[in-house]
Structure 1
Amino acid sequence: MTSQGQGSLSFSALPKAYYTPETRLAVGGLALAYFRLAPADSASRLSSTELHLTYTQNQQFLGHLFWRLFASGERWLWEGDLLHEDFTEFFFGLGPSVSYEGRELYRFRESSLVHSIYRRIAPNTFIGLVHYLRMANFIQFGLETAFGAGDYSRRHGPPDAGTGACFSLR
């Protein structure tokens, strides 16, 4: 589905469905939008967002949002990536002697945000700051764990975050 909206908005959406042995049946969609933050701002490139959503028969979920926004005559650029994953998978072990019978079922959840704000300093040249935040959660519910010493049912990783300088040629 594609639609051309008023002014400078363009929107497209596509369904998706697939099958894999790990996920079984998966369904979801992709949505894209292209637009100008200020319709009268013809000096800026089109901004965009992209959303991917997937849900599987094994109750796995993946949501992923990307964005790139140009503003104020393209003096400013904001890019970002927001992710949430919640899935179960089999771990078959390490090395050449792994077997199907030795597999373990585990569950993993992750949420993360990475975004950058840039200021244009010359044509197609931007400097700015990047920030990221990641939270992961690992839940074991299979056989004796091969992921670490001992048996545990839940492991939360501490939030991982950082900020730094960034440079981009566009």
Structure 2
Amino acid sequence: MKKYLYLLLLFHLSLNAQQERNTRENTIKSDTINTSKSIKFIGIPIAFYTPETEFAFGGGGQLFLLNKSNQYNARPSNILFSGIYTLNEQIMFEVKPQIYLGSGNYFIDASYLLEIYPNQFWGIGAKTPDENLEIYKQTTHALRLAFLKRLPPDLNFGFEYTFKNHDISEVEEDGILDSGSVLGGDRAVVSALGAIFNLDSRDNTGSPTSGQFLQAKAQFSTKLLGATSGFNKYVIDLRAYSVVNEKSTLATQIYAETNYGDIPFQSLASYGGGTRARGYFFGRFIDNHMYVVQAEYRYRFKPRWTAAAFGLIGEVAERPEKFFNSDTFKPSFGAGIRYKIFKDQDTYLRFDIGSGIDGNSGIYFGVNEAF
């Protein structure tokens, strides 16, 4: 599931008098009712806009288990759930438990996602033409379960299991997916074991101004676990946040993804979206391998207002040796503005406009930074 953006919190039913400064990057606090010391519940109406969904709305909630917190950064265990409907007739339901054990020395990070999702497909490759566009409808059940061990102060290491069942119910007649030449064109099951290693020294997760986030992941999907095909996925995500002066931050990211084996198109590296390649539709270009390098300068011109400008470059390729071909470079640039909702919490409303090449562009409205 994409990173959905939570804009408004209409009510806050609390079962705890304790106040946490950092809860989750997409949660906004409001009124509190104090009746307990272990549980807090927040109701969350949801609204956002991306090129992939157009306007989307729904609701959900977040349950905080305050007696199971991470002693290192004061983040409480929580269970987030949401239901969303979009003007593109997409339906999404998600449950995301994040549970700390041993005062934060161990971490369970899990999710279940149901998507009924009309989507767009242009084919596979770095130069697929716009006229290839076709619409398909897909139902996805996705389960992810990760168990991590903390190596103080900032290192985390663990293992992850991922299951995804993609069932395509409708494709365009005589289209690319209808031809049977695309793996996953009718159905795909991913069943994968993986390993995760990360270093996270960010001052906060939603709108960092200092620190680093360095993560490496390896995932192995195999028929022995019930997958329809076998493939390996490797991801490196390197982010750094530097304080330029008391009002300015420079954020940089290098993201690389490689896939080897028989890869269903749903699991290929996808270029675009509101986080890694603003200015391109998420999945406008897909292939075995991808890299994105982006930078964003953020200037706080008023205590609660920040202006941002960003630029990026990247591409997808069938093989890594085909990278850095001037014909397949996909740059983008753009700008936006952020508004800090509460004076004492680093939660921002974000509005961005991104522009790529060949008429690609996007408007993004949501909460907190793209990376």
- 1:28-64 per-position Cα deviation (integer Å, ceiling 9, x unaligned): 20312222355xx784741122222113577642012
Does structure 1 conserve the Cα–Cα contact (< 8 Å) formed by 2:64 and 2:79? yes
What code does the residue aligned with 2:98 have?
A: R
Hey, what's the Cα distance between the residues in 2 that align with 1:18 and 1:123? 35
Query: Cα distance 1:103–1:74, how it changes in 2: closer, same or farther (>3 A)?
Result: closer
Hey, what's the Cα distance between the residues in 1 that align with 2:61 and 2:192? 29
Deviation at 1:146, TM superposition (A): 3.0
Q: Comparing 85-94 with 120-129, which one deviates more in the overlay? A: 85-94
In terms of fraction of residues, the more strand-rich structure is 1
Deviation at 1:163, TM superposition (A): 1.1
Hey, what's the Cα distance between the residues in 2 that align with 1:131 and 1:111? 14
TM-score, L = length of structure 1: 0.71
Does structure 2 conserve the Cα–Cα contact (< 8 Å) formed by 1:105 and 1:143? no
1:127-138 → structure 2 map (5 Å cutoff): 127-138=157-168
What code does the residue aligned with 1:136 have?
A: H
Deviation at 1:2, TM superposition (A): 0.4
Tell me which of the two structures has the higher relative contact order, counting C-alpha pairs closer than 8 angstroms and 6 or more residues apart.
1
SS at match of 2:175: coil
Q: Comparing 84-93 with 122-131, which one deviates more in the overlay? A: 84-93
TM-score, L = length of structure 2: 0.37
What code does the residue aligned with 2:163 have?
A: L
Unmatched runs of 5 consecutive residues or more in structure 1: none
Query: Cα distance 1:120–1:111, how it changes in 2: closer, same or farther (>3 A)?
Result: same
The equivalent of 1:3 in structure 2 is 13
Query: Cα distance 1:143–1:17, how it changes in 2: closer, same or farther (>3 A)?
Result: same
1:15-34 → structure 2 map (5 Å cutoff): 15-16=45-46, 27-34=57-64
Does structure 1 conserve the Cα–Cα contact (< 8 Å) formed by 2:46 and 2:57? yes
1:101-116 → structure 2 map (5 Å cutoff): 105-116=135-146
- 1:139-161 per-position Cα deviation (integer Å, ceiling 9, x unaligned): 225433232426xxx8222x212
Query: Cα distance 1:72–1:156, how it changes in 2: closer, same or farther (>3 A)?
Result: same
What code does the residue aligned with 1:95 have?
A: P
The answer to whether residue 125 in structure 2 is matched with residue 95 in structure 1 is no
Aligned positions, number: 161
The equivalent of 1:162 in structure 2 is 192
Hey, what's the Cα distance between the residues in 1 that align with 2:145 and 2:191? 12
Cα RMSD, aligned residues only: 3.4
Does structure 2 conserve the Cα–Cα contact (< 8 Å) formed by 1:37 and 1:70? no
Does structure 1 conserve the Cα–Cα contact (< 8 Å) formed by 2:172 and 2:178? no
Hey, what's the Cα distance between the residues in 1 that align with 2:122 and 2:159? 40
Query: Cα distance 1:112–1:21, how it changes in 2: closer, same or farther (>3 A)?
Result: closer
Hey, what's the Cα distance between the residues in 2 that align with 1:69 and 1:76? 8
Hey, what's the Cα distance between the residues in 1 that align with 2:101 and 2:52? 42
Hey, what's the Cα distance between the residues in 2 that align with 1:43 and 1:24? 40
Does structure 1 conserve the Cα–Cα contact (< 8 Å) formed by 2:122 and 2:134? yes
Hey, what's the Cα distance between the residues in 1 that align with 2:48 and 2:91? 14
Q: Comparing 116-125 with 141-150, which one deviates more in the overlay? A: 141-150
Does structure 1 conserve the Cα–Cα contact (< 8 Å) formed by 2:61 and 2:80? yes
